[in-house]
Structures are given as structure tokens and as C-alpha cells.
Homo-oligomer: A and B are copies of this chain.
């Protein structure tokens, strides 16, 4: 197993490779007939996201026994392009003004350009991923179709104080955990791993993806704006995140009514009230415990794999998802 410091450095190296490949792709497309669409999409693509999906794909490929990382890069980029496409479109209907520290595409260029640029990123992602064999394309398509399902479910539950934890998991499995799992599973298939290994890595993706989303939920409630993560977007949007669903279940009587009122008539001067209610319900602790469970399950899912640098990196990546502050 590699040391923690080495693991960090190795993950950074992989992130750098993704970044470089993405920059090369952008430059290449700018010389083609789709240059106008890429000019639009470039800023958000290169504004430096966490690149967790493509890095996951690279390390899953290696952990599955793949030994030509360059060959899996298109698949890794496909995951990032499809993810970015959904961000561009989400920002339109969430009416978000900034993303990754830059103005959102539709707020700079108008809704039509936002829609078109997102479509273009979908197309480009599928063009890259579509070069793989049929079962990989099927897995990718299934996961991308389920993003739509998750988003529709999320819309359905906006402001719905009766949202259950099952609803919540169905939403995040579609939107976040599914694409994490798909990135891992497709990369493992690309490495021609056995079905068991593909399943194992897919499982790892599901668990890390769920943990990642729960951390997002917590950061939305506790996040530090100085870290670049604005606080309260979900609350303002009426999104039912797990800490809130938990508090609505645990609180009773006057406190339950107060929480409903805070959520339905939220404004920034009610942060103290909301935080106190969530603390009183134990919702932060509960969510942290769930995150811990998902990370442990992710870790355990890798047990059947032989030790390798890539396996250590996957574990480090899982821990990092748990620790992240942005």
C-alpha cells in the first residue's frame, strides 16, 4: 500500500492528466466545425471542477487491472462532459447565477445558448463514450437516462415536507451516485475485468457517490462562503436534503411546526433558527454517521480486489470525498 502523502500526490497527477486531456479536447474541437459551440462551453468546462468522476474512472480502470491509462481517457472525459452538460442545464432551471466561480452560461449568454451548449456537451460526451463496446455504451446510457429520472423526482418533491428517505435516495441515486457507479463500472469493463470486479467497482461508486451527495447536503447547511461554497442554495430552492428530511421526521409538536415554517418561509435571517432545529433533532450527527457508513461500505466493497496502488487511491479518494469542504 502507498503512503498517504504518495496517494495524494498520485491522485493529483491523475487529476492533472484529466485536466490536460480536457484542455486538449477543447483545443481540438475549437479547430472543427463545432468551434462556436465549444467556444460557449469552454469556460465552464475549464473552470476547474473537482473532476472526481473522470479520476474515479481512471483509478477504477487501474484497480480493475487496466494498464493503458491513456486508452481509457475518452471514457473518463465522457463522464465529465455529461456531468457538465447536466450542470449547465440544471443552472437554467435553478436560475443559478454562478458556477465554479464563473457566471453560469445562460446568465452570460441567454437561455437558448445555455440549452444548446448543454446539448452539445451531451453529444460530445456520448461521441467519446460511444466509441466503446456495446455493453459499456448501454451502461452509460442507462446511467444518463436515470439522471433525468432523478431530476424529475427532485422537482416533484420540491417543497414537499413529506419527502421520505427512500425518495431522497432515489433522487441522489439517479443524479449523483448512479453516474459515479457508472464511471467505475464502465472503466472496469473497459479494462476487461471479470463481472465480479465490475460489480465491486460499481458498488464502490454507488457508495462514494451517496457519501459525496450527503456531504454536499451538509455543506449547503454549514458551508463556509469563504471556501467558495455558497450556503443555503438547497434551502432557498426548497430541495429536500437528507438532514432536513431527518429533522422533519424526528421533531414533533411545536418544533416540527417551527421547522415547517422556517422551510416554507425561509430567509437568510432564519439561519440560526434552522441550525438550532437541525442540531436539536440530531440531524447533522445522523447525516455524518450515514456518510461514515457509506464510506465504510465503499471501502469494504474493495476487499475482493488484490492490494495495489490504484486500490489505495480509491480508498483515499473516498476519504477525500468525506473530508471535502468545497
Interface residues of A (CB under 8 A from B): 33-37, 40, 85-86, 89, 92-93, 111-113, 115-120, 122-124, 126-127, 129-131, 134, 137-138, 140-142, 144-149, 151-153, 155, 174
Interface of A is mostly: helix
Closest to A120 in B: B148
Which of the residues B37, B122, B138 comes within 8 Å of A149, measured between beta carbons?
Answer: B37
Q: Give the complex CA separation of A134 and B137 in angstroms.
A: 11
Q: Nearest 10 pairs between A and B by C-beta?
A: A127-B141, A130-B130, A93-B112, A126-B126, A130-B137, A37-B148, A120-B148, A34-B145, A123-B144, A36-B152
Between-chain CB contacts (< 8 Å), 6 pairs: A36-B153, A113-B152, A116-B148, A119-B147, A122-B123, A127-B138
Assess whether A33 is in contact with B119, with CB atoms less than 8 Å apart: no
**Nearest-Cβ distance from residue A225 to partner chain B, whole angstroms:** 26
* Other 20 A-B pairs with CB < 8 A, given A116-B148, A127-B144: A36-B149, A37-B149, A37-B152, A85-B119, A86-B119, A92-B111, A93-B115, A116-B151, A117-B148, A118-B119, A119-B147, A119-B148, A120-B145, A123-B147, A123-B148, A124-B145, A127-B137, A130-B130, A130-B140, A131-B138
| B residues in contact with A92, CB < 8 Å | 111, 115
Assess whether A130 is in contact with B126, with CB atoms less than 8 Å apart: yes
Assess whether A145 is in contact with B89, with CB atoms less than 8 Å apart: no
Closest to A135 in B: B131
Assess whether A141 is in contact with B124, with CB atoms less than 8 Å apart: yes
Closest to A88 in B: B115
Closest to A153 in B: B36
Assess whether B89 is in contact with A119, with CB atoms less than 8 Å apart: yes
Contact A146 B33, CB 8 Å, known A130-B126, A131-B137: yes
Count copies of this chain in the complex: 2
Assess whether B123 is in contact with A145, with CB atoms less than 8 Å apart: yes
**Nearest-Cβ distance from residue A40 to partner chain B, whole angstroms:** 7
**Nearest-Cβ distance from residue A183 to partner chain B, whole angstroms:** 15
| B residues in contact with A126, CB < 8 Å | 122-123, 126, 130, 141
| B residues in contact with A151, CB < 8 Å | 112, 116
Assess whether A89 is in contact with B113, with CB atoms less than 8 Å apart: no
Assess whether A122 is in contact with B124, with CB atoms less than 8 Å apart: no
Assess whether B93 is in contact with A152, with CB atoms less than 8 Å apart: no
| B residues in contact with A119, CB < 8 Å | 85-86, 89, 118-119, 122, 147-148
| B residues in contact with A111, CB < 8 Å | 92-93
Q: Give the complex CA separation of A133 and B149 in angstroms.
A: 28
**Nearest-Cβ distance from residue A95 to partner chain B, whole angstroms:** 10
| B residues in contact with A131, CB < 8 Å | 134, 137-138
Which of the residues B116, B127, B138, B153 comes within 8 Å of A142, measured between beta carbons?
Answer: B127
| B residues in contact with A153, CB < 8 Å | 36
Q: Give the complex CA separation of A65 and B37 in angstroms.
A: 36
| B residues in contact with A40, CB < 8 Å | 152
| B residues in contact with A35, CB < 8 Å | 149
Q: Give the complex CA separation of A324 and B129 in angstroms.
A: 38
